[in-house]
Amino acid sequence: MHAKLLDGKQLAAEMRADIAGQVAALKKQTGITPGLGVILIGDDPASSSYVTAKEKACAEAGMFSQDVRLPAGTTQEEVLSLVRGMNGDPRIHGILVQLPLPKHICEAAVINAIAPEKDVDGFTPLNVGRMMIGESCFLPCTPHGVIQMLLKAGVQTSGRHAVVVGRSNIVGKPVAHLLMRKAEGGNATVTVCHTGTRDLAAFTRQADILVVAAGHPGTVTGDMIKPGAVVIDVGVNRVPDSSKRNGFRLVGDVDFDSAKEAASLLTPVPGGVGPMTITMLLYNTLDAARRTCEGG
Ligand code: GUN
């Protein structure tokens, strides 16, 4: 087996062009420019580069973005006050607080402060609850991007066994939910593995669709993959590489070289899920802007 690569960059470019067209039409019809408020606390280089990519994508889609970057010592109250300011700012339809936040700031308190109608990350308890019971909501961007990739690649999920490695609120839990829900791109039988799982390989080898969001390079190797499985690698890890100008390279959670010999379809890192996450953020921000003209 030699896996075909699932090109997230190409799919993201197509979807972003479509979103840009819809942004232009919304502006023309209503005068509303969809706007995203982005808050970044601290100087984590990976977070900083994600935020830069999100702002660039907004500009390319014709959206407004307001970028607030503050030092790691910023207090929780200052962050809450920023969020509240964006909640009340009519130019901003979606708010993104880049996670993780510095340790002295309570993430739950900050997420809870985001107005649910501007929660384009889909992280507030109201949004998560709505998703769980199948009500209209903002779907979290990375999990939604994963489902879009599977759909666009024509991967059948219904009736198949999907194994998710990782149980984070951002990816593992919501992607497991989307894969199991009774909807297009769902209806799979889902197993969730995590750091408490004994004999991870025994589970991953049963997967028709394997989604890996563990946050560690090499979590899954080719011998842990059922021949012909579809493998979605959500990991983005920086590993030192002196041959690179910036001193590192990006790798996923899946060992790419061995996985491509076992899988039928595999997402590369970079250029797989990453560009889709940002695309779904643009999609949600456009949706949030549209909802304001429909009266919420
Ligand atoms: N950190 C890693 N992924 C994400 C994401 O999708 N949204 C936010 N806000 N922070 C993140």
Tens-digit pLDDT profile for residues 62-95: 999 999 999 999 999 999 999 999 999 999 999 9
Closest among 144, 149, 127, 145 to 136, alpha carbons compared: 127
111 lines ligand 1 (CB under 6 A): no
Closest among 229, 235, 241 to 254, alpha carbons compared: 235
> Ligand 1 centroid to 43 CA: how many Å?
15
The percentage of the chain sitting over the pLDDT mark of 70, rounded to a whole number, equals 99
Region of residue 239 (phi > 0: left; psi between -120 and 50: alpha; otherwise: beta): beta
Predicted confidence band of residue 294 (pLDDT cuts 50, 70, 90): confident
Q: Whose CA is nearest to atom 9 of ligand 1?
A: 98
> Ligand 1 centroid to 59 CA: how many Å?
19
> Ligand 1 centroid to 86 CA: how many Å?
18
Return d(Cα 123, Cα 284) in angstroms, integer. 12
- Parallel, antiparallel, or unpaired for β 248-251 and 237-240? antiparallel
The mean per-residue pLDDT over the stretch 118-139 comes to: 98
Residues 205-263: tens digit of each pLDDT: 999 999 999 999 999 999 999 999 999 999 999 999 999 999 999 999 999 999 999 99
How many other C-beta atoms are found inside a 10 Å radius of the C-beta of residue 21?
12
99 lines ligand 1 (CB under 6 A): yes
Catalytic residues: 54, 98, 121
Buried/exposed code over 101-139 (b: 16+ C-beta within 10 A; e: otherwise): beeebebeebbebbbebbbbbbbbebbbebbeeeeebbb
What does the pLDDT read at residue 260?
98
Domains and CATH numbers, the chain: 31-114 (3.40.50.10860), 141-274 (3.40.50.720)
| Residue-by-residue DSSP string for 150-186 | HHHTT---TTSEEEEE---TTTHHHHHHHHHSSSTT-
142 lines ligand 1 (CB under 6 A): yes
> Ligand 1 centroid to 4 CA: how many Å?
28
> Ligand 1 centroid to 284 CA: how many Å?
14
How many other C-beta atoms are found inside a 10 Å radius of the C-beta of residue 17?
11
| Ligand 1 atom showing the smallest separation from residue 96 Cα | 9
Closest among 237, 283, 271 to 57, alpha carbons compared: 283
Residues 9-34: tens digit of each pLDDT: 999 999 999 999 999 999 999 999 99
97 lines ligand 1 (CB under 6 A): yes
How many other C-beta atoms are found inside a 10 Å radius of the C-beta of residue 71?
9
Pocket test for ligand 1, best of 170, 234, 278 (most atoms within 8 A of CB): 170
| Ligand 1 atom showing the smallest separation from residue 121 Cα | 7
Q: Is the pLDDT of residue 295 over 80?
A: no
| Ligand 1 atom showing the smallest separation from residue 141 Cα | 6
Return d(Cα 170, Cα 275) in angstroms, integer. 16
Q: Is the pLDDT of residue 284 over 60?
A: yes
